[in-house]
Structure 1
Amino acid sequence: MAKQSARERMVASAREMIRRRGVAGTSMIEVLTAAGASRGSLYHYFPGGKTEMIEDATRSAIADYTDVIELLAGLEPEQAVPLLIEGWKAEVEASGFTAGCPVVAAAMGGEYVPTARAMAGEAFTRWSAQLERMLVNTGVAQHRVQSLATLVLSAVEGAVIMGLAQHSSEPLRRVGAELLTLIQSQREDGPR
Protein backbone atom coordinates (compact mmCIF):
# COMPACT_ATOMS: atom_id res chain seq x y z
CA MET A 1 0.00 0.00 0.00
CA ALA A 2 1.34 3.43 -0.95
CA LYS A 3 2.20 5.86 1.80
CA GLN A 4 -0.35 8.66 2.09
CA SER A 5 0.70 12.24 1.46
CA ALA A 6 0.15 14.88 4.14
CA ARG A 7 -2.85 16.13 2.17
CA GLU A 8 -4.38 12.63 1.95
CA ARG A 9 -3.87 12.14 5.69
CA MET A 10 -5.55 15.47 6.36
CA VAL A 11 -8.53 14.60 4.17
CA ALA A 12 -8.86 11.20 5.88
CA SER A 13 -8.63 12.81 9.32
CA ALA A 14 -11.24 15.43 8.39
CA ARG A 15 -13.53 12.72 7.07
CA GLU A 16 -13.23 10.74 10.30
CA MET A 17 -13.80 13.82 12.42
CA ILE A 18 -16.90 14.75 10.38
CA ARG A 19 -18.26 11.24 10.99
CA ARG A 20 -17.83 11.69 14.74
CA ARG A 21 -18.45 15.40 15.36
CA GLY A 22 -20.23 16.78 12.33
CA VAL A 23 -19.10 19.70 10.21
CA ALA A 24 -19.37 22.34 12.95
CA GLY A 25 -17.37 20.22 15.40
CA THR A 26 -14.53 19.55 12.98
CA SER A 27 -11.53 21.68 13.91
CA MET A 28 -8.78 22.35 11.39
CA ILE A 29 -6.13 22.28 14.12
CA GLU A 30 -7.36 18.91 15.39
CA VAL A 31 -7.35 17.58 11.82
CA LEU A 32 -3.74 18.74 11.45
CA THR A 33 -2.76 17.06 14.71
CA ALA A 34 -4.53 13.80 13.86
CA ALA A 35 -2.89 13.77 10.41
CA GLY A 36 0.56 14.55 11.82
CA ALA A 37 0.83 17.53 9.49
CA SER A 38 2.45 20.90 10.09
CA ARG A 39 0.47 24.10 10.48
CA GLY A 40 2.11 25.48 7.37
CA SER A 41 0.64 22.67 5.30
CA LEU A 42 -2.92 23.69 6.12
CA TYR A 43 -3.27 26.62 3.74
CA HIS A 44 -0.80 25.10 1.33
CA TYR A 45 -3.13 22.15 0.74
CA PHE A 46 -6.40 23.94 1.54
CA PRO A 47 -6.14 27.59 0.45
CA GLY A 48 -9.93 27.76 0.82
CA GLY A 49 -9.62 26.90 4.52
CA LYS A 50 -12.05 24.73 6.40
CA THR A 51 -14.64 24.89 3.62
CA GLU A 52 -12.25 23.36 1.12
CA MET A 53 -11.13 20.72 3.61
CA ILE A 54 -14.75 19.71 4.37
CA GLU A 55 -15.54 19.62 0.64
CA ASP A 56 -12.57 17.36 -0.03
CA ALA A 57 -13.44 15.05 2.87
CA THR A 58 -17.03 14.85 1.64
CA ARG A 59 -15.87 14.20 -1.92
CA SER A 60 -13.60 11.40 -0.65
CA ALA A 61 -16.40 9.75 1.31
CA ILE A 62 -18.80 10.03 -1.62
CA ALA A 63 -16.29 8.39 -3.96
CA ASP A 64 -15.74 5.44 -1.61
CA TYR A 65 -19.41 4.89 -0.85
CA THR A 66 -20.34 5.28 -4.52
CA ASP A 67 -17.95 2.45 -5.38
CA VAL A 68 -19.67 0.24 -2.81
CA ILE A 69 -23.19 1.13 -3.95
CA GLU A 70 -22.28 0.47 -7.58
CA LEU A 71 -20.88 -2.92 -6.64
CA LEU A 72 -23.94 -3.82 -4.58
CA ALA A 73 -26.33 -2.61 -7.30
CA GLY A 74 -24.99 -5.35 -9.56
CA LEU A 75 -26.10 -8.05 -7.11
CA GLU A 76 -29.45 -9.54 -6.23
CA PRO A 77 -31.13 -7.81 -3.25
CA GLU A 78 -30.75 -11.03 -1.22
CA GLN A 79 -26.98 -10.48 -1.49
CA ALA A 80 -26.81 -6.69 -1.63
CA VAL A 81 -28.98 -5.78 1.37
CA PRO A 82 -27.19 -8.06 3.87
CA LEU A 83 -23.80 -6.86 2.60
CA LEU A 84 -24.86 -3.24 2.97
CA ILE A 85 -26.19 -3.86 6.47
CA GLU A 86 -23.11 -5.84 7.53
CA GLY A 87 -20.83 -3.13 6.16
CA TRP A 88 -22.57 -0.47 8.21
CA LYS A 89 -22.70 -2.68 11.29
CA ALA A 90 -18.95 -3.19 11.04
CA GLU A 91 -18.33 0.55 10.65
CA VAL A 92 -20.46 1.70 13.57
CA GLU A 93 -19.35 -1.11 15.85
CA ALA A 94 -15.66 -0.45 15.05
CA SER A 95 -16.20 3.19 16.02
CA GLY A 96 -17.73 2.20 19.34
CA PHE A 97 -21.02 3.64 18.07
CA THR A 98 -19.51 7.12 17.81
CA ALA A 99 -19.18 7.58 14.04
CA GLY A 100 -21.85 7.55 11.35
CA CYS A 101 -21.98 8.40 7.68
CA PRO A 102 -19.79 11.38 6.74
CA VAL A 103 -22.08 12.15 3.81
CA VAL A 104 -25.07 12.48 6.13
CA ALA A 105 -22.93 14.66 8.41
CA ALA A 106 -22.06 16.89 5.43
CA ALA A 107 -25.76 17.19 4.58
CA MET A 108 -26.62 18.05 8.18
CA GLY A 109 -23.82 20.65 8.37
CA GLY A 110 -24.97 22.46 5.28
CA GLU A 111 -25.37 25.81 6.98
CA TYR A 112 -21.61 25.80 7.56
CA VAL A 113 -20.53 24.38 4.19
CA PRO A 114 -23.44 24.58 1.72
CA THR A 115 -21.34 23.11 -1.09
CA ALA A 116 -20.79 19.93 0.94
CA ARG A 117 -24.55 19.67 1.50
CA ALA A 118 -25.09 20.03 -2.25
CA MET A 119 -22.51 17.30 -2.93
CA ALA A 120 -24.30 15.04 -0.44
CA GLY A 121 -27.62 15.68 -2.16
CA GLU A 122 -26.16 14.79 -5.54
CA ALA A 123 -24.61 11.63 -4.08
CA PHE A 124 -27.91 10.51 -2.61
CA THR A 125 -29.51 11.02 -6.02
CA ARG A 126 -26.81 8.91 -7.73
CA TRP A 127 -27.02 6.19 -5.09
CA SER A 128 -30.80 6.03 -5.42
CA ALA A 129 -30.43 5.68 -9.19
CA GLN A 130 -28.03 2.76 -8.70
CA LEU A 131 -30.48 1.09 -6.32
CA GLU A 132 -33.28 1.70 -8.83
CA ARG A 133 -31.23 -0.16 -11.45
CA MET A 134 -30.81 -3.11 -9.07
CA LEU A 135 -34.54 -3.19 -8.33
CA VAL A 136 -35.51 -3.08 -12.01
CA ASN A 137 -33.02 -5.83 -12.81
CA THR A 138 -34.53 -8.05 -10.12
CA GLY A 139 -38.10 -7.73 -11.28
CA VAL A 140 -39.57 -4.85 -9.29
CA ALA A 141 -42.22 -2.97 -11.28
CA GLN A 142 -40.89 0.23 -12.84
CA HIS A 143 -43.52 2.39 -11.14
CA ARG A 144 -42.26 1.20 -7.71
CA VAL A 145 -38.49 1.44 -8.09
CA GLN A 146 -37.94 5.14 -7.41
CA SER A 147 -39.83 5.21 -4.11
CA LEU A 148 -38.46 1.84 -3.04
CA ALA A 149 -34.86 2.91 -3.75
CA THR A 150 -35.40 6.10 -1.75
CA LEU A 151 -36.85 4.04 1.09
CA VAL A 152 -33.89 1.63 1.09
CA LEU A 153 -31.35 4.43 1.27
CA SER A 154 -33.30 6.43 3.86
CA ALA A 155 -34.00 3.40 6.04
CA VAL A 156 -30.37 2.30 6.13
CA GLU A 157 -29.06 5.80 6.86
CA GLY A 158 -31.76 6.22 9.52
CA ALA A 159 -30.87 2.88 11.09
CA VAL A 160 -27.23 3.97 11.29
CA ILE A 161 -28.30 7.10 13.18
CA MET A 162 -30.63 5.14 15.46
CA GLY A 163 -27.87 2.60 16.12
CA LEU A 164 -25.49 5.36 17.16
CA ALA A 165 -28.08 6.86 19.50
CA GLN A 166 -29.02 3.48 20.99
CA HIS A 167 -25.45 2.12 20.98
CA SER A 168 -26.74 -0.94 19.16
CA SER A 169 -26.64 -2.66 15.77
CA GLU A 170 -30.19 -3.89 16.25
CA PRO A 171 -31.83 -1.09 14.20
CA LEU A 172 -29.64 -2.05 11.23
CA ARG A 173 -30.50 -5.72 11.59
CA ARG A 174 -34.23 -5.00 11.76
CA VAL A 175 -34.16 -2.60 8.82
CA GLY A 176 -32.21 -5.08 6.71
CA ALA A 177 -34.72 -7.85 7.35
CA GLU A 178 -37.70 -5.60 6.59
CA LEU A 179 -36.16 -4.19 3.44
CA LEU A 180 -35.59 -7.68 2.05
CA THR A 181 -39.17 -8.68 2.83
CA LEU A 182 -40.49 -5.52 1.18
CA ILE A 183 -38.32 -5.83 -1.93
CA GLN A 184 -39.31 -9.46 -2.38
CA SER A 185 -42.98 -8.57 -2.07
CA GLN A 186 -42.62 -5.99 -4.85
CA ARG A 187 -41.23 -8.33 -7.47
CA GLU A 188 -43.63 -8.92 -10.31
CA ASP A 189 -42.68 -12.60 -10.48
CA GLY A 190 -42.84 -13.09 -6.70
CA PRO A 191 -40.07 -13.83 -4.19
CA ARG A 192 -36.99 -15.70 -5.38
Structure 2
Amino acid sequence: MARTANPENRDRIVRTTRDLIRRNGIQGTTMLEVVKASGGSRGSLYHYFPGGRAEMVEDAVRSAIDEYTAGIEYLATLPAAQAIPLMVEFWRAEAEASDYAAGCPIAAAALGGASDPVPSRLAGEAFAGWIDAFARMLVNEGIPADRARALGTLAIAAVEGAVILGLAQKSSTPMELVADQLVALVDAAQ
Protein backbone atom coordinates (compact mmCIF):
# COMPACT_ATOMS: atom_id res chain seq x y z
CA MET A 1 0.00 0.00 0.00
CA ALA A 2 1.48 3.33 -1.07
CA ARG A 3 1.99 6.00 1.56
CA THR A 4 0.62 9.42 0.75
CA ALA A 5 2.29 12.62 1.82
CA ASN A 6 0.53 14.59 4.52
CA PRO A 7 0.75 18.32 3.77
CA GLU A 8 0.12 19.08 7.46
CA ASN A 9 3.38 17.31 8.36
CA ARG A 10 5.28 19.34 5.79
CA ASP A 11 3.68 22.58 7.03
CA ARG A 12 4.61 21.69 10.62
CA ILE A 13 8.23 21.18 9.56
CA VAL A 14 8.25 24.52 7.70
CA ARG A 15 6.74 26.34 10.71
CA THR A 16 9.22 24.67 13.06
CA THR A 17 12.13 25.62 10.78
CA ARG A 18 10.89 29.23 10.66
CA ASP A 19 10.72 29.38 14.43
CA LEU A 20 14.20 27.92 14.82
CA ILE A 21 15.55 30.41 12.27
CA ARG A 22 13.94 33.23 14.29
CA ARG A 23 15.68 31.93 17.43
CA ASN A 24 18.98 30.51 16.17
CA GLY A 25 19.59 32.10 12.78
CA ILE A 26 20.08 30.21 9.55
CA GLN A 27 23.44 28.70 10.48
CA GLY A 28 22.17 27.60 13.90
CA THR A 29 19.17 25.74 12.47
CA THR A 30 20.05 22.11 11.87
CA MET A 31 17.99 19.24 10.55
CA LEU A 32 18.45 17.40 13.84
CA GLU A 33 16.98 20.36 15.76
CA VAL A 34 14.06 20.54 13.33
CA VAL A 35 13.40 16.82 13.80
CA LYS A 36 13.42 17.20 17.59
CA ALA A 37 11.30 20.36 17.66
CA SER A 38 8.75 19.21 15.05
CA GLY A 39 8.27 15.72 16.42
CA GLY A 40 9.00 14.35 12.98
CA SER A 41 11.61 11.89 11.81
CA ARG A 42 14.77 12.39 9.83
CA GLY A 43 13.20 10.31 7.05
CA SER A 44 10.19 12.64 6.89
CA LEU A 45 12.49 15.62 6.40
CA TYR A 46 14.13 13.98 3.40
CA HIS A 47 10.73 12.86 2.12
CA TYR A 48 9.35 16.40 2.13
CA PHE A 49 12.66 18.11 1.36
CA PRO A 50 14.69 15.88 -0.97
CA GLY A 51 17.12 18.78 -1.41
CA GLY A 52 17.98 18.45 2.29
CA ARG A 53 18.59 21.28 4.72
CA ALA A 54 19.04 23.92 2.00
CA GLU A 55 15.61 23.20 0.54
CA MET A 56 13.99 23.09 3.99
CA VAL A 57 15.51 26.43 5.00
CA GLU A 58 14.62 28.06 1.67
CA ASP A 59 11.02 26.89 1.97
CA ALA A 60 10.82 28.21 5.52
CA VAL A 61 12.23 31.58 4.46
CA ARG A 62 9.88 31.75 1.46
CA SER A 63 6.95 30.93 3.73
CA ALA A 64 7.90 33.71 6.14
CA ILE A 65 8.41 36.16 3.27
CA ASP A 66 4.99 35.34 1.83
CA GLU A 67 3.28 35.82 5.19
CA TYR A 68 5.09 39.00 6.20
CA THR A 69 4.84 40.53 2.73
CA ALA A 70 1.07 40.04 2.79
CA GLY A 71 1.01 41.89 6.11
CA ILE A 72 3.20 44.71 4.81
CA GLU A 73 1.07 45.04 1.68
CA TYR A 74 -2.03 45.30 3.86
CA LEU A 75 -0.39 47.90 6.10
CA ALA A 76 0.56 49.90 3.02
CA THR A 77 -3.15 50.44 2.33
CA LEU A 78 -3.52 52.31 5.64
CA PRO A 79 -2.35 55.80 6.58
CA ALA A 80 1.27 55.74 7.77
CA ALA A 81 0.28 57.06 11.20
CA GLN A 82 -1.75 53.88 11.62
CA ALA A 83 0.44 51.41 9.67
CA ILE A 84 3.74 52.10 11.44
CA PRO A 85 2.46 51.52 14.99
CA LEU A 86 0.66 48.36 13.83
CA MET A 87 3.83 46.96 12.29
CA VAL A 88 5.82 47.73 15.40
CA GLU A 89 3.07 46.30 17.63
CA PHE A 90 3.25 43.02 15.69
CA TRP A 91 6.98 42.74 16.39
CA ARG A 92 6.61 43.87 20.00
CA ALA A 93 4.03 41.13 20.60
CA GLU A 94 6.21 38.54 18.83
CA ALA A 95 9.27 39.52 20.87
CA GLU A 96 7.38 39.47 24.17
CA ALA A 97 5.71 36.13 23.35
CA SER A 98 9.14 34.58 22.82
CA ASP A 99 10.56 36.21 25.96
CA TYR A 100 12.76 38.26 23.62
CA ALA A 101 14.37 35.16 22.13
CA ALA A 102 12.94 35.22 18.58
CA GLY A 103 13.27 37.93 15.96
CA CYS A 104 12.48 38.30 12.28
CA PRO A 105 13.32 35.22 10.20
CA ILE A 106 13.89 37.46 7.18
CA ALA A 107 16.60 39.40 9.03
CA ALA A 108 18.13 36.08 10.08
CA ALA A 109 18.08 34.95 6.45
CA ALA A 110 19.79 38.17 5.39
CA LEU A 111 22.59 37.46 7.83
CA GLY A 112 23.14 33.94 6.40
CA GLY A 113 25.24 35.52 3.67
CA ALA A 114 28.03 33.46 2.18
CA SER A 115 27.09 30.18 3.86
CA ASP A 116 23.44 30.36 2.75
CA PRO A 117 23.28 32.68 -0.28
CA VAL A 118 19.76 31.82 -1.50
CA PRO A 119 17.94 32.76 1.74
CA SER A 120 20.07 35.90 1.94
CA ARG A 121 19.12 36.86 -1.63
CA LEU A 122 15.45 36.14 -0.90
CA ALA A 123 15.65 38.36 2.18
CA GLY A 124 17.14 41.19 0.14
CA GLU A 125 14.36 40.89 -2.41
CA ALA A 126 11.73 40.84 0.35
CA PHE A 127 13.15 43.94 2.03
CA ALA A 128 13.15 45.74 -1.34
CA GLY A 129 9.50 44.84 -1.81
CA TRP A 130 8.63 46.06 1.68
CA ILE A 131 10.41 49.36 1.00
CA ASP A 132 8.44 49.70 -2.24
CA ALA A 133 5.17 49.06 -0.39
CA PHE A 134 5.94 51.71 2.21
CA ALA A 135 7.06 54.16 -0.47
CA ARG A 136 3.74 53.66 -2.32
CA MET A 137 1.86 54.30 0.91
CA LEU A 138 3.78 57.53 1.49
CA VAL A 139 3.36 58.71 -2.11
CA ASN A 140 -0.38 58.18 -1.64
CA GLU A 141 -0.14 60.53 1.33
CA GLY A 142 1.38 63.24 -0.82
CA ILE A 143 5.08 62.73 -0.11
CA PRO A 144 7.29 63.08 -3.22
CA ALA A 145 8.47 59.73 -4.62
CA ASP A 146 12.20 60.19 -3.87
CA ARG A 147 11.49 61.25 -0.29
CA ALA A 148 8.92 58.46 0.10
CA ARG A 149 11.49 55.86 -0.99
CA ALA A 150 14.05 57.20 1.48
CA LEU A 151 11.48 57.19 4.29
CA GLY A 152 10.35 53.69 3.30
CA THR A 153 13.93 52.48 3.52
CA LEU A 154 14.35 54.21 6.87
CA ALA A 155 11.12 52.69 8.18
CA ILE A 156 12.02 49.09 7.31
CA ALA A 157 15.62 49.49 8.51
CA ALA A 158 14.56 51.19 11.74
CA VAL A 159 11.88 48.65 12.62
CA GLU A 160 14.15 45.68 11.88
CA GLY A 161 16.92 47.33 13.90
CA ALA A 162 14.54 48.12 16.75
CA VAL A 163 13.51 44.47 16.89
CA ILE A 164 17.16 43.45 17.17
CA LEU A 165 17.80 46.05 19.88
CA GLY A 166 14.66 44.93 21.71
CA LEU A 167 15.83 41.31 21.68
CA ALA A 168 19.30 42.26 22.90
CA GLN A 169 17.92 44.52 25.65
CA LYS A 170 14.91 42.29 26.42
CA SER A 171 12.74 45.36 26.12
CA SER A 172 10.02 46.74 23.86
CA THR A 173 11.26 50.28 24.43
CA PRO A 174 13.41 50.49 21.25
CA MET A 175 10.44 49.40 19.13
CA GLU A 176 8.09 51.89 20.78
CA LEU A 177 10.58 54.75 20.36
CA VAL A 178 11.15 53.91 16.71
CA ALA A 179 7.41 53.82 16.02
CA ASP A 180 6.93 57.24 17.58
CA GLN A 181 9.87 58.76 15.71
CA LEU A 182 8.88 57.27 12.35
CA VAL A 183 5.33 58.62 12.66
CA ALA A 184 6.77 62.05 13.53
CA LEU A 185 9.13 61.95 10.51
CA VAL A 186 6.31 61.01 8.16
CA ASP A 187 4.09 63.75 9.60
CA ALA A 188 6.88 66.29 9.10
CA ALA A 189 7.43 65.15 5.51
CA GLN A 190 3.83 65.83 4.50
Pairwise TM-score range, normalised by the shorter structure: over 0.9
1:190 equivalent in structure 2: none
- Unaligned stretches of 5+ in structure 1? 188-192
Whether contact under 8 Å (1:100, 1:164) holds in the other structure is yes
Q: Give the alignment partner of residue 44 of structure 1, picking from 23, 44, 47.
A: 47
Q: Give the alignment partner of residue 83 of structure 2, picking from 67, 75, 80.
A: 80
Query: Secondary structure of 1:48's match?
Result: coil
Counterpart CA distance in 1 for 2:144 and 2:100 is 37
Counterpart CA distance in 2 for 1:152 and 1:63 is 19
Counterpart CA distance in 2 for 1:143 and 1:36 is 49
Offset at 1:4?
6.1
1:170 equivalent in structure 2: 173
1:17 equivalent in structure 2: 20
* Further displaced range: 82-91 or 34-43: 34-43
Deviation string 1:136-187 (CA, Å, 9 cap, x unpaired) is 0011122201111000000000000000000000000000000000001001
Aligned length: 185
Instruction: With the length of structure 1 as denominator, give the TM-score of the two structures.
Output: 0.94
Kindly indicate whether residue 143 of structure 2 is the aligned counterpart of residue 153 of structure 1: no
Q: After TM superposition, what 4+ stretches of structure 1 lie above 2 angstroms from structure 2?
A: none
- Unaligned stretches of 5+ in structure 2? 1-5
Counterpart CA distance in 1 for 2:113 and 2:14 is 18
Counterpart CA distance in 1 for 2:42 and 2:146 is 54
CA-atom RMSD in angstroms: 1.1
Whether contact under 8 Å (1:54, 1:113) holds in the other structure is no
Counterpart CA distance in 2 for 1:143 and 1:43 is 47
Offset at 1:36?
1.4
Kindly indicate whether residue 116 of structure 2 is the aligned counterpart of residue 113 of structure 1: yes
Instruction: With the length of structure 2 as denominator, give the TM-score of the two structures.
Output: 0.95
State the AA in 1 paired with 2:22: R
